[in-house]
Amino acid sequence: MQHARRRGLMASACLVLLVGVLAGCGGSSSSSSGGSSGSGGSTTGHMGGTMVLAWNGIGSSIDPAVDYDQNWTLLNMIYDGLVTWKKVGGSDGNTLVPDLAQQIPQATDGGKTYVFHLRPGIMYSDGTAVKASDFLRAIEREFTVPGPVGSFYQGIVGGDACAKTPKSCDLSKGIVADDAAGTVTFHLTAPDPDFLQKLALPFGYAVPSNTPDKEVGPSNPLPATGPYMIDHYTPNQEILLVRNPKFHEWSKDAQPQGYPDKIDIRLSLTSEAEVTMVEKGQADWMYDQPPSDRLNEIATQYTNQVHLNPVPQVYHMALNTRVAPFDNVKVRQAVNYATDRAAIIKAWGGPQVATPTCQILPPDFPGYAAYCPYTTSPGDGKWHGPDMAKAQQLVAASGTKGQKVAVICTPDEASKAICLYFVSLLKQLGYDSSIKVLSAAVEYPYVQDSSNKAQISFSYWYPDYPSGADWFDVVVGCNGFHPNSSASANLSEFCDPTIQKMTEKAIQTSVTDQAAANQMWSQVDKATTDQAPWVSLFLPKHIDFVSARVGNYIFDPNVLVGGILIDQAWVK
C-alpha cells in the first residue's frame, strides 16, 4: 500500500509540473502572436518607453473650447467627452461609442432630448471627480471663450442666445446636469441627427465646473481625464505628455490605455529636419507631411517605414462668390474647366499621394456619387483632363477679362506651388493675377473674414464628423457664412437659397431615414458642384513616416486623429 501511495504522489507531481510547463508555453506564444498585429494576445511587453514626435509647431490652442486644428491629435489622448469615435483602424474608426457616458442614449421627445448617465468613479488628473455639471461648463465655454469657429451647439435650448450675447451665456435650461444622479440631459430646439457626432468633438470634453471663461494655455493646462496629461511645455521647444496616474481604462474602444510611458513632442522643426530625425531614429513619427523633395528618398530607402492611407479630405481653391470676378458663376466654372488637376497633383507629390476630384464630397462618404462635369469627355464621374477651350468661352462670355485677382496661400512649398500654378492659369485666361503669401497663423483667419475680400485661396476641408451636413450646412452652406468674422468656415461665402432648402430637407430626412437622406446629399453635391464655389482639386493620401522601432501602426481616419494612433504605437 505504501509503495503504491509513493508512485501516486510522484504521478501527481509530474502532472502538476506538466500543466505548469504547458501554461508557460501558452502564455509566451500568445504574446509573440500579438506582437506584430496588435490584435489579441498579451501586449504588456510593449508597455513603456518614450515616444518622440517631431512637429513644426503646436496648434493654435491646447484649450478644448478653442482649438480647431492639429492639436486634436493631442487633445483626444488627454481629455474625454460623453461620446467619442472608436480608437481603431479602418472605417470602424468612424463609429460612435460611449466614452464618459455609460451608453449612447436614444433620442426621445421627437428627437430633441438625450439623457446620458455618467460612468462612476472617473477622476481628473488632479484627483477631483468628473461631475455632470462639468459638461454644462464645457459647452458654455464653447460660446464664451473666443475661438476660430462658430458654435456647434446652437441647437441646444439657449444656444442662440449664447451665440448672440456670449458674456451672459446660460445653458442651464438646455443642459440639465444632476451631479447627484450622475446624469446630463440635453434639450434641443429641433431634432439634430448629427448632435451625437458633434458631442464627440473636443468642444464637448469635460472640464472642471470652476474653469474660467478665458482660454487656458499649455503652461497651465486643464486637468486630464485621458491616459496622458501635460507634464510641461517649453514654448517653441517641447511638450511632454506623461501618464495620468488617475486614469484607468473604462472602455478599450473609447479610450484605451496607452503604450508609451511618455510622449515627447519636439517643436519648431522644419519638415525637412523632421524627415532626417525619423530616418536617424531620433524621432519616431513626424506630424507634418514629408516635403515632396524627400518623398522619393523615404519611399526608396525606408519603404517599410512609410504608410499611405486615404483620408476624407478635399483640397480646393475657395472662390469668393461675392467678390469680382468670382461673383460670376461663368468665371468660377471657367476656372474649374481650365484647371489641370494632374499638374496640381504633380506639385503635391504625384499620383500615388493624391487623386483628382471635381466635386465637394469625398469617396466613401455618406451620399457620395461620382460626379465631374469639369472635364473633357464628362459623363463617367471621373476627371480626364482640362478643357481650356470651354474655359475661355466662359471667360469671354462673362466680360471679366483683365480684372485683378490675388491668389492667397501660405508659404509652405506645396501651397505656394499650387497658388503659383493658379496665378499662371488665371493669366492664361486673361486676368491680371498675382500671389499673396500670408503666414500660416494669419492666413486662415484672414480669408475667413469677408471684410478682407479674399478672392481665391488655397484651402482644404476635413469633415468634423461623417455627415453631409458638415459639408453643405457648414463649409459651403448659408449657416457657415458669418460676415465680417474670422470664424466663418464658408470661405466662398456661398449661400444659394434653393440649395439651402435641399440641405435642410436632407438634414430633416436623416433623422428618420438615413438612406433617403444620403440620396438627397448626392443631389445637393451635384447642385453645389454645378455652382462651383470651389475648384475641387484632389483627394490626398495621408503619409505617415515612422521610425524603424515603431510597431503596431494603426491608422485611424476620424477627424480627432486623422493618422497614426500615437498612444497605441509601440516603441518597446
Cell of 386: 482640362
CA atoms within 13 A on the CB side of 336: 28
**Contact pattern for other proteins over residues 280 through 319, marking x by CB under 8 A:** -----------xxxxxxxxxx--x--x-x-----------
Which of 75, 157, 344, 475 lies at the binding interface for other proteins (CB under 8 A)? 344
Neighbours of 135 (CB within 10 A): 27
Shortest distance (Å) from residue 446 CB to other proteins: 9
Q: Establish if 268 lies at the interface with other proteins (CB under 8 A).
A: no
Shortest Cβ distance from residue 328 to other proteins (Å)?
23
Here the cell at position 549 is: 522601432
CB of 449 to other proteins, least distance (A): 13
Q: How far is the CB of 439 from other proteins (least distance, A)?
A: 9
Number of H helices, E strands in the chain: 15, 19
Side chain identity at 25, as an amino acid letter? C
Q: How far is the CB of 371 from other proteins (least distance, A)?
A: 24
Say if CB 517 and CB 324 are below 8 A apart.
Answer: no
Q: How far is Cα 439 from Cα 458, in angstroms, rounded to an integer?
A: 13
Task: Write down the H helix ranges in 89-145.
Answer: 133-144
Spacing of C-alpha 558 from chain mean position: 6
**Residue 295 or 335 with smaller CB distance to other proteins:** 295
CB of 415 to other proteins, least distance (A): 12
Transcribe 490-528 into DSSP letters. -TT----HHHHHHHHHHHHHHTT-HHHHHHHHHHHHHHH
Q: Is 93 exposed, middle or buried (0-12, 13-18, 19+ CB in 10 A)?
A: buried
User: Min. distance of Cβ 295 from other proteins in angstroms?
Assistant: 3
In the bound complex, what is the minimum distance in angstroms from residue 422's beta carbon to other proteins?
9
Neighbours of 127 (CB within 10 A): 9
Query: Interface with other proteins includes 421 (CB under 8 A)?
Result: yes
Please enumerate in sequence order all residues whose Cβ is within 8 A of that of 545, keeping only pairs 6 or more positions apart, or say none: 275, 278, 285, 286, 290, 298, 302, 305, 306, 307
Q: Closer to other proteins at the Cβ: 343 or 487? A: 343
Find the angle CA(501)-CA(503)-CA(505) to the nearest 5 degrees. 70
From the list 30-38, 341-349, 497-505, 532-540, the region that binds other proteins by CB under 8 A is 341-349
Q: Which of 272, 364, 348 is nearest to 315 (CA)?
A: 348
Q: Which stretch binds other proteins (CB under 8 A): 190-198, 319-327, 337-345, 489-497?
A: 337-345
Closest alpha carbon to 287 in 72, 526, 91, 506: 72
Residue 266's beta-bridge partner residues? 54, 238
DSSP state of 444: H
Q: Considering only residues 436 through 455, tell me which ones interact with other proteins, judged by CB under 8 A.
A: 436-437
Q: Quick one: 45 or 351, whose CB is closer to other proteins?
A: 351
Residues 6+ apart with CB under 8 A from 299: 306
Q: Which of 389, 435, 441, 516 is close enough to bind other proteins by CB under 8 A?
A: 435
User: Cell numbers at residue 394, please?
Assistant: 466662359
Closer of 282 and 500 to other proteins (Cβ): 282
x-marked contacts with other proteins along 521-560 as a string, rule CB under 8 A: ----------------------x-----------------
Site for other proteins in 89-128 (CB under 8 A): none
- Residue 311: CB minimum distance to other proteins, A: 16
CA distances 126 to 76, 207, 504, Å, are 18, 12, 44
Of 398-417, which residues contact other proteins (CB under 8 A)?
A: 411, 413, 416-417
Name the residue nearer to other proteins (CB basis): 210 or 303. 303
Binding residues for other proteins, rule CB under 8 A, total: 41
In the complex, the smallest distance separating the C-beta of residue 12 from other proteins, rounded to whole angstroms, is: 59
Q: How far is CA 431 from CA 319, 335, 425, 531, in A?
A: 15, 11, 9, 21
Residue 212 interacting with other proteins (CB under 8 A)? no
Q: Return phi, psi of residue 525, to 5°.
A: -60, -45
Cα torsion 311, 312, 315, 320 to 10°: value is -160
Choose between 154 and 289: whose C-beta lies nearer to other proteins: 289
Least distance to other proteins, CB of residue 351, Å: 8
> Which of 28/270 has CB closer to other proteins?
270
Q: Is the peptide bond before 166 cis (omega within 30 degrees of 0)?
A: no
One residue of 327, 340, 449, 504 binding other proteins per CB under 8 A: 340
Which residue stretch of 159-167, 171-179, 346-354, 355-363 sits at the interface with other proteins (rule: CB under 8 A)? 346-354
Residues in 349-388 that interact with other proteins by CB under 8 A: 349-353
Of the pair 332, 341, the CB lying nearest other proteins is at 341
Q: How far is the CB of 286 from other proteins (least distance, A)?
A: 15
> Which residues form the interface with other proteins (CB under 8 A)?
272, 291-300, 303, 306, 308, 340, 342-344, 346-347, 349-353, 411, 413, 416-417, 420-421, 423-425, 427-428, 434-437, 543
